[in-house]
Structure 1
Amino acid sequence: LKKGLSRGKAGERRLFSCRKVNHIDEGKALTQLSAGYFKGMVQVQSKSAKKEYEQEKAEMIDKVRFQINTLSLKFQKKPYLVDTSKFGSAIERKKFDKRIRALGIDHLNISQHLANLESDEILRRNLLNQTRCVIRVYMISAFDLQSRDNGSASDPYLVLKCNEKVVNERSNYQLDEPNPEFNKFYDFEGTFPGSTPLTIEVWDYDSIFGDDLIGVTSLDLEDRFFSIEWNNLEDKPVEYRQIYHPTSSISQGVLKCWVEINPVKYLPNVKQWDITPKPPTEMEVRVCIFNCKDVVMMDWEGTCDFFIKGFFDSKEDVQETDTHFRCQDGKPDFQYRMVFGVQTPRKDYNLTLQGYDKDFLKSNDLLGEAQ
């Protein structure tokens, strides 16, 4: 839309209305300024094809309704009139599936079939009616966040914005953590159509020089709300979203999250997922080292004082075997066991074993390692 081409009466509930333009833009310089964007739906279809399609669709829906009503009268002794106008909601389709399972129909995805047949009507109703919804954002984690501090990792926290609500998690920043875990959800209110995009910002905390923006991502909520395919999903997919700084086209990290949009009238029936981290479990990792072979002889007389060092990535517990002194055949023998106390879940599960030649007058020689 161009400024100057917009027309609309005061008080009208519309984003934009445009007058007809009777000339074709041939690349001439325009003096109008951009005033915004128009989002809508355009259908191109002949009248005869549309009439034929509508008639065929109505016959298919009536046939399914008749068969389900017949089964209900036969097995439950009462009629069941299927209301396909509610099939835009996954919750209503779930209720329908439960009802027809009681009639012995379990292997057919009838609710999905009816929702696809009614998709045009469902979309039209959603566009013409104002629907109050709760937008629930589950923030799980982030990883590979770029550093904004010299010599250390960033101290990230989240800022979420949607419609007129802003959630600032500055007080919950995570110190020196490029892969933070959030495990929280946030609720926003919105009306469709008309809701603004959801903006998720990741900031680097700094108590002295001011906070720095690491990156931002924006989610178009209306695209999700009006998508029949997305609404057909009972469990919304987990999204991995790249975040970008306004001054760069290079990704500054990845956010792991998912979004649910639920009409207010269905909110009591919506499951609230518990994504709080599970309490750590104490575990033991036992490593039995029996022997080695083909060890390189490092001393000038053709011997090696060989030992093995073991640790996890965090190096919080480093253990060593006994030293096999004066090993001459490249086959040191240990019969040694390492026991590591660990907590699960943990970020690193890589066990590293390193082989060394012990020296007394200088540092030990690293011969090799395995993970």
Structure 2
Amino acid sequence: MVFNPKNCFCRTSEIQKLAKKASQIRCVCRKTRWQKFRQAFSKKKIYCPCLKDFQRSVDKVEKKHGKTCACCRKLLEKLHLVTSDKDNQPGFWASICGIFKSSCLGGKCECCRKVAGKIKKICGDTAKRCAFCRKIGKKFTKKKPAEENFEDSYEENDYDWWTKYYSSLKPLPKPDERASIRDTFRLNIYNRELETQAEFNHFEDLLMAFPMYKGKRTGDEVVDRDMVQGVFKGNIKIYRWPESTEKHLLTRYGRPLKDGYFGQFPPNHPLHFTLRVYCVRALHLPPKDVNGKCDPYLLVRLVDRVQDNKDDFKNKDLNPVFGRMFEFNGIFPKDHTLVVQIWDRDVATKDDLIGETIIDVENRLYTNHRAKCGIPEFYKETGYCAWRDQTKPTAILSRLCTHWNLTKPEYAPTSVRIASKVFESTKYESCGDDRIDKEVKALYALRNWDQAPFVGMKLVPEHVETRSLYSPDKALVEQGKIQLWIDIFPAGDLPPPSAVDITVKPPKDYELRVVIWNTADVLLQEDEFISGQKKSDIFVKGMILGHDNVQSTDVHYRSLTGEGNFNWRFVFPMQYLQNEDMTLIRRKEGHFQSKDSDKKFPCRLTLQVWENDMFSKDDFLGTLSLDLSRMPRGSKGEENCNFTITEPNAPRINLFKTKRTRGWWPFKGKDLDGNLTLVGKVEAEMELLTAEEAQQKPAGIGRNAPQALPEPK
């Protein structure tokens, strides 16, 4: 083997040692080790196509760096050995990681650093492009501590539809902010009726509604509404007939005009369908009782069929969360209108109608905007974001192409082509399954169908619409709002899919234990009576937001440096709603109330540092607020504890996943000018247990038993 060390910046003696050692390695057939690697690589098959691209990239690096440095040459030899061994592919990235740590890659040789940097970039690009490489690439990626993984994978989380709903209510994460799994999957929440959105135009692209009045209209909306005796649904188009030109004219649907304009309209024979009404929650309902509240429940009517949840009314709630699904079987055109009502339950008197909303179901089924079932943003076959339509995205896309007389979709490795339009997502990543990849590409085309030339229009996405409620007695005065969505499944060869479970999960009982160990650098405000030296009498308060349980440590007297030693435990029982990331407080507001009223607060721990005064009110110094599901990771030492650990892009942990954490966190306060400043640091340990775990391992408050804490030294 010939080495040319002239272009290497590491010491000549080290190169000579490496060259001598490499030249002494021989195989049984007396061929050099490098030649053996070459033969092994050419004979054995590599199953992953990305590894072939990886080998080509390695060859390019070899041409430039292979003859300049002995350690670079040795590095490339090891890379060839790893890529040529098909039995070692599961440990491919682990082997690469070990190679990078060998030789002089720690920083002694400049050309080695360049080679290693290029190889790392190749490995990173390969791992992102190929599903097989992504799977085995976990061994190559350096594992982070368990604290930093504040969210698990999509499959492992116990999330449901409400997780996606409440995530959609939040603003999108900032580009420099760490996004969790629960913030990735969202749906559209419209603040008005779906048909009133500008892109859908009341769903009158196919069928238009013409009210039929008895007598002459007066112009008063309330009076004219009582005069309506029926609705005519149809469409009217005016065009020249017979055609006076030799050109072959086409309709909007790409069909010859000579065959008639309405050739693609649906037939007028009875059509059986399944209707599902998902009622999420109501907003800003007017009070109906003397206490300024109401007891709402739902009543849903499809012509002569009625369903309600009167037995499950919401007690004294003006913003109730229903989480109910009502299912009907109907026939078009007979069952064309859906009425959703909210009633106030009364014990001694007749129930009062709060308000109602009316939905034209027939127009939603026949519109070209495809409003019968919303199209989600991501394609998943399992989990809380699983596909919930009768047909898959590829089948829907094929039907659209047939309906509009377009060519069949042509699927490429990263895109799908329809006529002259190519739909290609910049965020597309292959999952390794060709069938699923095809569905993902078809779904992207459906989500962007409005970009299709001539026939493009916006398709209804997965959504929740907000509808206004009106009472017949006050026709023009809004009586609150209701959030819901409907799915329509025509009867056919395929049965209706499983319904989405929007049942509200009950809260889970937890116990949060916080041990305050020490404080440091606390602001000193008082003067020592004799010496005049600055001092402070420190104690710490702790509470959960919205709870009345406020706990305090004992007082550390006469701290001259801002240091305080406590060894004091807080214990906070609480009820946690995982999907909303909120704590729940239930209490009765009156002696005659039959049910408890619920109040929700963010799941936030607040720690405060105070100055104890003997003859006056205690002085507040600073505070620290920690969201338990997304709290900043504490620093390991007080010297590194500052405001940088609380910045948006700083590492975060989910205490409901990690269960325990310990570290230093900064207290925030205000100076004389009103600016935020560091007023102290606290060393705390937090442990979160379920109610069952807390019962098995009880702990006392303060330093009391069980699990008594020692006195501070």
Work out whether the TM-score is over 0.5: yes
Deviation (angstroms), 1:144: 4.3
CA distance 1:328–1:195, change in 2 (3 Å): farther
Deviation (angstroms), 1:310: 0.9
* Partner secondary structure for residue 309 of structure 1: strand
Q: Aligned runs of 1:142-161 on 2, under 5 Å?
A: 142-151=282-291, 153-161=293-301
Aligned to 1:53: 250
Distance in 1 (CA, whole Å) between partners of 2:363 and 2:503 is 29
Aligned to 2:486: 259
Aligned to 1:308: 541
Distance in 1 (CA, whole Å) between partners of 2:477 and 2:557 is 53
Distance in 2 (CA, whole Å) between partners of 1:17 and 1:198 is 17
Q: Aligned runs of 1:85-104 on 2, under 5 Å?
A: none
Query: Does the CA contact (< 8 Å) of 2:274 and 2:496 recur in 1?
Result: no
1:221 alignment partner, one of 318, 340, 361: 361
Distance in 1 (CA, whole Å) between partners of 2:566 and 2:211 is 83
Report the TM-score, using the length of structure 2 for normalisation. 0.33
Q: What do you get for the CA RMSD once the two structures are aligned?
A: 4.5
Aligned to 2:236: 42
2:320 alignment partner, one of 177, 180, 192: 180
Aligned to 1:165: 305
Alpha-carbon deviations, 1:140-165, whole Å to 9, x = none?
33344443334454222111112101
Q: Aligned runs of 1:12-91 on 2, under 5 Å?
A: 34-46=228-240, 48=243, 51-53=248-250, 57=254
Instruction: State the AA in 2 paired with 1:208.
Output: A
Distance in 1 (CA, whole Å) between partners of 2:353 and 2:271 is 34
Distance in 2 (CA, whole Å) between partners of 1:367 and 1:210 is 56
* Partner secondary structure for residue 257 of structure 1: strand
CA distance 1:209–1:35, change in 2 (3 Å): closer
1:268 alignment partner, one of 495, 502, 508: 495
2:266 alignment partner, one of 105, 125, 137: 125
Distance in 2 (CA, whole Å) between partners of 1:17 and 1:121 is 25
Alpha-carbon deviations, 1:301-340, whole Å to 9, x = none?
8966643131133x17544333445667777665655454
Query: Does the CA contact (< 8 Å) of 1:288 and 1:338 recur in 2?
Result: yes
Instruction: State the AA in 1 paired with 2:482.
Output: L
Query: Does the CA contact (< 8 Å) of 1:242 and 1:251 recur in 2?
Result: no
CA distance 1:193–1:153, change in 2 (3 Å): same
Q: Does 1:239 align with 2:464?
A: yes
Distance in 1 (CA, whole Å) between partners of 2:503 and 2:359 is 24
Query: Does the CA contact (< 8 Å) of 2:525 and 2:536 recur in 1?
Result: yes
Give the % identical residues. 26
Aligned to 2:329: 189
CA distance 1:364–1:139, change in 2 (3 Å): farther
Alpha-carbon deviations, 1:202-227, whole Å to 9, x = none?
22222134433333222221221121
1:208 alignment partner, one of 340, 348, 364: 348
Mean Cα displacement is larger for which, 265-274 or 325-334? 325-334
Distance in 2 (CA, whole Å) between partners of 1:58 and 1:120 is 10
Deviation (angstroms), 1:175: 1.5
* Partner secondary structure for residue 258 of structure 1: strand
Report the TM-score, using the length of structure 1 for normalisation. 0.58
Query: Does the CA contact (< 8 Å) of 1:295 and 1:331 recur in 2?
Result: no
Q: Does 1:321 align with 2:574?
A: no
Instruction: State the AA in 2 paired with 1:198.
Output: L
CA distance 1:129–1:287, change in 2 (3 Å): farther
Query: Does the CA contact (< 8 Å) of 2:313 and 2:345 recur in 1?
Result: yes
In structure 2, runs of 5+ residues without a counterpart are: 1-208, 376-388, 390-460, 530-534, 583-599, 626-713
CA distance 1:276–1:35, change in 2 (3 Å): closer
Larger Rg: 2
Aligned to 1:116: none
Deviation (angstroms), 1:282: 5.0
Q: Aligned runs of 1:101-116 on 2, under 5 Å?
A: none
Deviation (angstroms), 1:351: 1.6
Distance in 1 (CA, whole Å) between partners of 2:357 and 2:254 is 40
CA distance 1:278–1:173, change in 2 (3 Å): closer
Query: Does the CA contact (< 8 Å) of 1:306 and 1:327 recur in 2?
Result: no
CA distance 1:206–1:233, change in 2 (3 Å): closer
Q: Does 1:351 align with 2:607?
A: no
Distance in 1 (CA, whole Å) between partners of 2:211 and 2:317 is 48
Instruction: State the AA in 2 paired with 1:189.
Output: N
CA distance 1:51–1:169, change in 2 (3 Å): farther
Instruction: State the AA in 2 paired with 1:242.
Output: R
In structure 1, runs of 5+ residues without a counterpart are: 1-14, 19-24, 60-118
Query: Does the CA contact (< 8 Å) of 1:134 and 1:262 recur in 2?
Result: yes
Aligned to 2:532: none
Distance in 2 (CA, whole Å) between partners of 1:125 and 1:360 is 84
Distance in 1 (CA, whole Å) between partners of 2:536 and 2:624 is 22
* Partner secondary structure for residue 554 of structure 2: coil
Query: Does the CA contact (< 8 Å) of 1:137 and 1:186 recur in 2?
Result: yes
CA distance 1:175–1:287, change in 2 (3 Å): same
* Partner secondary structure for residue 364 of structure 2: helix
Q: Does 1:291 align with 2:523?
A: no
CA distance 1:318–1:184, change in 2 (3 Å): same
CA distance 1:54–1:204, change in 2 (3 Å): closer
Number of aligned residue pairs: 284
Query: Does the CA contact (< 8 Å) of 1:307 and 1:358 recur in 2?
Result: no
* Partner secondary structure for residue 53 of structure 1: coil
Distance in 2 (CA, whole Å) between partners of 1:208 and 1:357 is 56
Distance in 1 (CA, whole Å) between partners of 2:211 and 2:551 is 73
Alpha-carbon deviations, 1:226-260, whole Å to 9, x = none?
21222474647332323334337665444332211
Distance in 2 (CA, whole Å) between partners of 1:232 and 1:39 is 22
Deviation (angstroms), 1:361: 8.3
Alpha-carbon deviations, 1:65-111, whole Å to 9, x = none?
xxxxxxxxxxxxxxxxxxxxxxxxxxxxxxxxxxxxxxxxxxxxxxx
* Partner secondary structure for residue 216 of structure 1: strand
CA distance 1:196–1:285, change in 2 (3 Å): same
Alpha-carbon deviations, 1:12-33, whole Å to 9, x = none?
xxx9999xxxxxx9x9xxx9x6
Query: Does the CA contact (< 8 Å) of 1:307 and 1:324 recur in 2?
Result: no
* Partner secondary structure for residue 602 of structure 2: coil
Distance in 2 (CA, whole Å) between partners of 1:288 and 1:240 is 46
Aligned to 1:94: none
